[in-house]
Structures are given as structure tokens and as C-alpha cells.
């Protein structure tokens, strides 16, 4: 349910899953049930900043990489393994300040106010979706039951902006735009904060026969500059960085109804992901410390040296068609898709880079490469769902994917069953295979990397739904995900794509890789949703899992995304006239990490990891308590929604990373050159939204 729907009907927002009205393209099946929510859930949930990705991080088996990012890790998978669809159109990344090889970023490009509903599949999704190894998130924009022109203006921690919806030529025109506020803090002495803006436009027209045209445009621009003080011994980086980028997706979808039992959907889209990244090294020779005591250091004393330049556009075009038929006993879906990938990279590392994995005192693992070509990818599928018996549903399908780059073809079967024992108990099982190519930046960085194969995994799932307790919905699901053909370093046998070290504030490093990596992620999740007379709503989940991977050395070890225990408890209490109190407690086991090789690191005054202990150690557990107060009011015939809250109420120091202190002369002073930096401390959140009709 959208914010506009909630206010226009005079009801209060809820924190639980909201059923989204199905349209004619949604057929009943036996796949594992998706998690569903509306924009009211996103806005009213404490700790999310109104960000759909941060809301997804509260779902069972899902966890964030850190408070500083809205990256989504689903069941031990890499952030690149997630697919996002907006109104049925693939969007490679819905976030600002996103870099290659991830689907997360700093904040959302899509305003929660334009969202009607969200569906999140964390496993076992059917063959109709483009290939991803972990999850699918479907976002549907506003579709009011009774179209009413209205305008919304909002101001909050994410920025300021608004949206407008109006009937145009028998259709529904929806536009929105927002600009971030954080850049204003740069003028008061807080450097390194990003600037970002976004826009969205959507036109939808549905005729009396059910034929529907949707045109979508989503775009965002962002930039940030980081300039560590050259003479400050407390600085943890010696790299000056300048980043600017923009990304956009524009597409159209046409749904044609053929009969009361069948319809077809055709769509085309274009996506661009442009990045400009420039980095300069302050200490070209790490052991040459700066003997200067104020900042900025004059260029006559220190002139940073360019070490990394990137100008890239990882763009693609798509064309899709699918046909669906449904009767009381059987439904059939089949379709084909084509992608024209356009990897345009200009990456230069003129003096190389010191590898954090190598003890050699020279700049290795550096590469410069350029590409500007087009390559195709196709995907075709068929999916059949049958209801042969009362309470029993069976679904089976196959997806064939071809990749022109490397001349690969994958064939992946999908199957699922669901059996319901009345209205209170149901069981489901699913088996599905998936394949996904590594990002082009990894494939093109070294000539040998071009031979890498598509990454693969399988989803083996058993689940049960229990509604035997009044006002309570319990879901239990166990899964197993074997991985194969994962990119692995050919130089450092312990290093794979799933355990590469995140070098905060350091130079980008590319590695020669092949497809020797393998792994497994498995676990069990228990979640419960309880309503107590519409005054108290509680959603809780507990997950246990392990994500273990091996590189060329074939030694299985925890991946970067191995969080054995994940727990979330959220509540929403309604009281008074339009007041709500939302709270959330999140817990996860501390993530694994690789310690420094202290002897070599101190000798060279740079971070060098002890790869013989790759991810052998683990940081302390993560825990955070958030709270938020929401209030709906009618002010001069205008709807006003206000929220204010505090994240990390107890100001717990949650570990982020160990960092090397390159400006500490550890040869002359006994102080340790390793420092700990933490994630977000106690932090306020606020926002308000005016709705004009």
C-alpha cells in the first residue's frame, strides 16, 4: 500500500507485509512465497531512512554490508547477485554512488513515496526472471484504486523533493525529483560528503480491454570528493579521490490482452551506468613520511601523483516478450529476451598499485585496459504451473541463456511444489539452477580473465507456513545453495570474488582471475508476523546460515558474507490520534576478516594481508536499536505526515574495519599503526511529507 492510498483512505500505516493487488500478469504458482511490502512499511520502519533497500535488509536471511551502504546480502550471496525490476523493467542499480560489481550504494534513486508495492524473492524464483544467483526484487510504482491528481512535497534525512500525479490523456502521469542535503555540510568543514540528485517519470495508460502501456524513466547523478589531510597522523588513507557518475534506465512495456485466459507483454529499455573516478597517491613511496604539520600541504612540498583514472559506461539495451495463458487447472508462461551489452571502459593505472596481498615491495597487480564494443546475450524460458488436486500446486520450467562474450550457454531447470493442509498449514519445496556472468570490468581487466565462465548456483529449498495461532503467521524455510565457477585469483590461491578485501579509501586493485572458485551457502530461517488488535504489530525473524568458499587452493573458508546468526525484531504501536511508535532491533554475528601481516606491513608502511589466514578471524557481533515516532495530521485540508527518530539509540560501537595508519612513524614510535574504525554512531532521522489534492 502506498503512502497516498493510506492517507486518502484515512487509515494508518503498518509495518507488516501488505498484500499488493495482483494484475493480470501475476499467476498463482508453487514457488516460495515472496516477502511483500508497501511504501508505508518502508517509511514507517525505524532505521530505514525511507530507503527500500535498507528495508529489504530487515527481511529474514538478509543483512547489510555496513551502516554506510544499502547493499543487500541475500542468503550469503554477493551484492552483484541481486536483480531489481521497476514496473517490470530491469534496472541495473536503483542507488546513488554505486560502483561496478554491486547493486547497492549510498542511498536510493527511487523515492518511497512513488512505490505502490515491493516483492522480494530470496530464493527459488521461476524461470521468467533474468538470471541472478541470489534474489529478485520487483518494485511497482503508484497505481491508486481511484485515480486522484495530487502533489506531494517532502523533506528528510535523504534530501528534499516531491512528486506529482495527474490524469493525462486517459492515463496516469507520475513524476518525482529529489536532491540530497548532505553536501551542504561540506561548506561547514565536514568534507567528503556526497552530492546527489534523482528524477523519475512514469506514464501508464490502461484501456477498457486491459491493454496497458507503461513508459518509465529513472535517473540519478552523484559526486563526491575525498581529500585526506596529508599531514594528519590520524588519517587512514593517502589517496585523494574524485568520483562523479550518472545512471539512467528508460523503457516501455506494452501488455496486450488476447482473451480472458491469455495475454502477452513486450518491453524495450536502455540503461546507462557512467562513472568517472580519479585517484592520486600522496605517498608514492609509503616509507617516505611527510614532515609537515599543517594542512593543506603546499604543492611545493607534496604533489600527489595520479595512480588511477577511470571513465566508463557499462550500458546495455534490452528487448523482451513473454506470453501467458491461464485456466483453472493450468497456466503456461513462455518468453525470450535479448540484451545488447556495451562495456565501454577506459581504465589507467600509470604507475601500478601496491597489492594488499603481496609482500613484494613493488607495484604489482596493476593494469590499464580499454574497451568499446557490443556483445549479445539471450534468454528463453518456459514455465508450466498445474493445480491437479485441491491444495496441491506443481510448477516446472527451464531457462536457456546464451552469452556471446566467451561463447557460453547455460540450461537451468526450475521446479517447485506446494501442498496446503487446509487454511492453516502448507508445505513447499523448490529446486532451481541459475547462472550469471561476472561483471565486464573483471572480465576485461586482464586478457586471461576473458576465459571465465558464467558463475553458477542451485537453490534447494524446503519451507512450511503455519497459521495455527490466531493473529500470527509463522514461516520456516531451509535452503542450500552450492556455488561453482566463481572467479578466483590465479596469483593468490586463497582469494575469490567472495572474500576479496574491501580496501576502504585505497587505490582500486584488479587481479588476474579464472573460474576455479566454488562454495556453498546453507541455512534455516524462522519468521513470525503477529497482529494484536491492530494496536501492536510485531515482526520477528531468526536465521542461522554458513557461507563457505574456496579458491584455487581448494581450502574451504568463510566468505565475506558469512554471518552465522541474523536476528531482527520490529514493532509498531499505535496510540492517541494518529501516533505510531516504531522500533527495530537488529543483530548479526561479526563478519570474518583477514589480519595484517604485521612484519611486512610495518617494514613497508602499508597494509599487507596475511593470506594464509584469509577470513580466519572474526570481529565482534553487530547490534543496533532504532526507534521512530510517526504522526499523521490534517492541516488546513492538507495531509501532513511527520516522522522523527534515532538510529543506534545506545550508541553502540559496531566494528567496520581495521585500517593502516600510514602517517604514523611506527619505526620510531611504539604506537600500533593499526586502528579500528566503527560504523554509524547514534544518529537522528527526520522527515515530513505534505500531500496536496
Rounded to an integer, what distance in angstroms lies between the CA atom of residue 493 and that of residue 129?
34
Burial of 652 (0-12, 13-18, 19+ CB in 10 A): middle
C-alpha cell at 183: 553536501
Q: Where are the alpha helices (DSSP H) in 150-248?
A: none
Whole-angstrom CA distances from 64 to 68, 105, 157, 679 are 9, 11, 19, 12
Residues facing residue 419 across a β-bridge: 392, 427
Rounded to an integer, what distance in angstroms lies between the CA atom of residue 665 and that of residue 57?
41
H or E element in which residue 440 lies:
helix 440-444
DSSP 360: -
Residues in the chain: 693
146: Cβ–Cβ under 8 A, 6 or more apart, which residues?
8
How high is the pLDDT of residue 107? 87
How high is the pLDDT of residue 13? 36
Rounded to an integer, what distance in angstroms lies between the CA atom of residue 372 and that of residue 311?
12
Q: Which long-range contacts (CB under 8 A, 24 or more apart) does 160-169 make?
A: 161/111, 163/111, 163/113, 163/114, 165/4, 168/203, 169/205
pTM of the model: 0.92
How high is the pLDDT of residue 560? 95
DSSP 373: -
How high is the pLDDT of residue 147? 60
Do 668 and 287 touch, CB atoms closer than 8 A?
A: no
How high is the pLDDT of residue 27? 45
User: CA 686, 690, 691 angle in degrees (round to 5)?
Assistant: 140
**Cis ω before 296 (30° cut-off from 0):** yes
Rounded to an integer, what distance in angstroms lies between the CA atom of residue 616 and that of residue 601?
19
CB neighbourhood size of 222 (10 A): 25
Residue 380, classed as helix, strand or coil, is strand
Q: Where are the alpha helices (DSSP H) in 187-296?
A: none
Rounded to an integer, what distance in angstroms lies between the CA atom of residue 693 and that of residue 691?
7
Residue 568: which of 92, 122, 17, 59 has the closest Cα? 59
Domains assigned to the chain: 3-692 (2.40.170.20)
C-alpha cell at 560: 565475506
Residue 110: which of 216, 215, 14 has the closest Cα? 216
Max CA-CA distance within the chain? 82
Cα radius of gyration rounded to whole Å, the chain: 25
Rounded to an integer, what distance in angstroms lies between the CA atom of residue 594 and that of residue 560?
10
How high is the pLDDT of residue 26? 44
Residue 228: which of 277, 297, 178, 285 has the closest Cα? 297
How high is the pLDDT of residue 341? 97
Whole-angstrom CA distances from 120 to 32, 110, 606 are 11, 16, 42
How high is the pLDDT of residue 19? 34
How high is the pLDDT of residue 402? 97
**pLDDT averaged per 10 residues in sequence order, the chain, 693 residues:** 50 35 48 86 90 93 90 94 96 88 86 92 94 95 75 89 91 94 65 88 93 96 90 84 95 96 97 94 83 74 88 96 94 97 94 89 84 96 94 95 96 96 92 96 93 97 92 94 97 94 74 96 96 88 97 96 96 90 96 94 92 95 96 83 94 93 62 87 90 79
H or E element in which residue 675 lies:
strand 674-678
Q: Give the CA dihedral 87, 92, 96, 102, nearest 10 degrees.
A: 140
Residue 679 phi, psi (nearest 5): -80, -160
Amino acid at each position: 500500500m502506498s503512502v497516498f492510498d493510506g492517507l486518502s483512505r484515512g487509515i494508518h500505516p503498518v509495518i507488516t507485509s501488505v498484500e499488493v493487488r495482483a494484475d493480470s500478469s501475476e499467476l498463482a504458482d508453487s514457488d516460495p512465497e515472496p516477502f511483500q511490502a508497501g511504501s508505508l512499511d518502508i517509511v514507517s520502519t525505524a532505521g530505514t531512512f525511507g530507503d527500500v533497500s535498507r528495508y529489504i535488509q530487515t527481511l529474514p536471511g538478509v543483512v547489510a554490508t555496513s551502516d554506510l551502504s544499502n547493499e543487500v546480502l541475500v542468503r550469503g550471496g554477493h551484492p552483484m547477485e541481486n536483480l531489481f525490476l521497476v514496473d517490470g523493467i530491469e534496472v541495473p542499480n536503483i542507488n546513488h554512488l554505486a560502483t561496478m560489481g554491486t547493486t547497492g550504494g549510498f542511498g536510493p534513486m527511487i523515492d518511497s513515496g512513488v512505490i505502490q508495492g515491493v516483492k522480494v524473492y530470496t530464493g527459488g524464483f521461476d524461470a521468467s526472471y533474468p538470471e541472478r544467483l541470489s534474489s529478485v526484487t520487483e518494485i511497482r510504482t503508484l497505481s491508486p484504486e481511484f485515480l486522484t491528481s495530487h502533489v506531494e512535497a517532502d523533506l528528510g534525512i535523504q534530501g528534499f523533493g516531491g512528486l506529482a500525479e495527474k490524469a493525462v490523456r486517459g492515463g496516469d502521469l507520475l513524476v518525482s525529483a529529489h536532491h540530497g542535503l548532505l553536501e551542504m555540510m561540506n561548506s561547514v568543514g565536514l568534507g567528503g560528503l556526497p552530492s546527489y540528485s534523482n528524477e523519475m517519470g512514469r506514464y501508464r495508460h490502461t484501456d477498457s480491454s486491459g491493454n496497458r502501456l507503461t513508459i518509465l524513466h529513472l535517473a540519478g547523478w552523484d559526486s563526491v570528493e575525498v581529500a585526506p589531510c596529508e599531514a594528519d597522523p590520524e588519517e587512514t588513507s593517502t589517496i585523494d579521490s574524485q568520483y562523479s557518475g550518472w545512471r539512467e534506465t528508460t523503457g516501455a512495456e506494452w501488455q496486450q490482452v488476447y482473451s480472458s485466459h491469455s495475454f502477452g507483454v513486450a518491453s524495450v529499455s536502455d540503461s546507462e551506468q557512467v562513472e568517472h573516478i580519479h585517484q592520486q597517491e600522496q605517498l608514492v613511496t609509503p616509507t617516505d613520511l611527510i614532515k609537515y604539520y599543517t594542512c593543506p600541504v603546499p604543492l611545493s612540498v607534496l604533489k600527489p601523483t595520479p595512480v588511477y583514472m577511470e571513465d566508463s559506461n557499462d550500458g546495455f539495451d534490452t528487448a523482451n516478450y513473454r506470453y501467458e495463458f491461464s485456466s483453472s487447472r493450468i497456466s503456461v508462461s513462455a518468453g525470450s529476451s535479448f540484451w545488447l551489452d556495451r562495456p565501454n571502459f577506459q581504465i589507467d593505472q600509470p604507475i601500478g598499485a601496491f597489492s594488499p596481498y603481496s609482500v613484494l615491495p613493488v607495484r604489482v597487480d596493476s593494469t590499464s585496459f580499454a574497451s568499446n564494443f557490443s556483445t549479445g546475450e539471450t534468454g528463453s524460458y518456459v514455465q508450466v504451473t498445474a493445480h491437479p488436486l485441491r491444495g496441491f500446486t506443481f510448477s516446472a520450467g527451464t531457462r536457456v541463456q546464451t552469452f556471446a562474450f566467451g561463447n557460453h550457454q547455460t540450461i537451468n531447470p526450475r521446479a517447485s511444489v506446494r501442498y496446503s493442509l487446509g487454511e492453516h498449514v502448507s508445505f513447499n519445496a523448490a529446486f532451481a539452477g541459475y547462472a550469471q556472468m561476472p561483471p565486464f570490468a573483471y572480465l576485461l581487466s586482464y586478457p586471461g580473465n576473458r576465459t571465465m565462465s558464467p558463475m553458477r548456483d542451485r537453490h534447494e529449498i524446503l519451507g512450511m507456513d503455519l497459521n495455527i495461532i490466531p493473529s500470527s503467521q509463522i514461516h520456516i524455510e531451509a535452503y542450500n545453495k552450492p556455488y561453482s565457477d566463481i572467479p578466483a585469483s590465479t596469483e593468490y590461491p586463497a582469494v575469490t570474488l567472495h572474500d576479496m578485501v574491501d580496501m576502504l579509501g585505497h587505490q582500486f586493485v584488479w587481479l588476474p582471475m579464472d573460474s576455479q572458485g566454488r562454495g556453498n551457502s546453507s541455512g534455516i530461517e524462522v519468521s513470525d508476523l503477529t497482529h494484536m488488535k491492530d494496536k501492536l504489530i510485531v515482526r520477528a525473524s531468526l536465521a542461522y546460515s554458513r557461507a563457505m568458499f574456496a579458491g584455487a587452493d581448494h581450502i574451504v573458508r568463510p566468505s565475506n558474507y558469512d554471518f552465522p546468526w541474523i536476528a531482527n525484531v520490529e514493532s509498531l504501536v499505535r496510540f492517541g490520534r494518529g501516533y505510531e511508535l516504531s522500533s527495530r532491533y537488529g543483530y548479526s554475528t561479526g563478519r570474518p576478516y583477514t589480519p595484517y601481516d604485521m612484519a611486512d606491513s610495518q617494514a613497508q608502511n602499508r597494509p599487507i594481508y596475511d593470506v594464509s589466514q584469509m577470513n580466519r578471524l572474526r570481529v565482534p557481533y553487530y547490534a543496533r536499536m532504532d526507534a521512530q515516532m510517526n504522526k499523521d495530521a490534517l492541516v488546513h485540508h492538507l495531509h501532513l505526515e511527520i516522522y522523527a527518530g534515532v538510529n543506534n539509540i545506545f550508541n553502540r560501537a559496531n566494528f567496520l574495519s581495521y585500517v593502516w595508519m600510514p602517517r604514523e612513524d611506527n619505526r620510531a614510535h611504539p604506537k600500533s599503526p593499526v586502528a579500528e574504525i566503527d560504523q554509524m554512531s547514534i544518529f537522528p532521522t527526520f522527515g515530513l511529507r505534505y500531500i496536496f489534492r
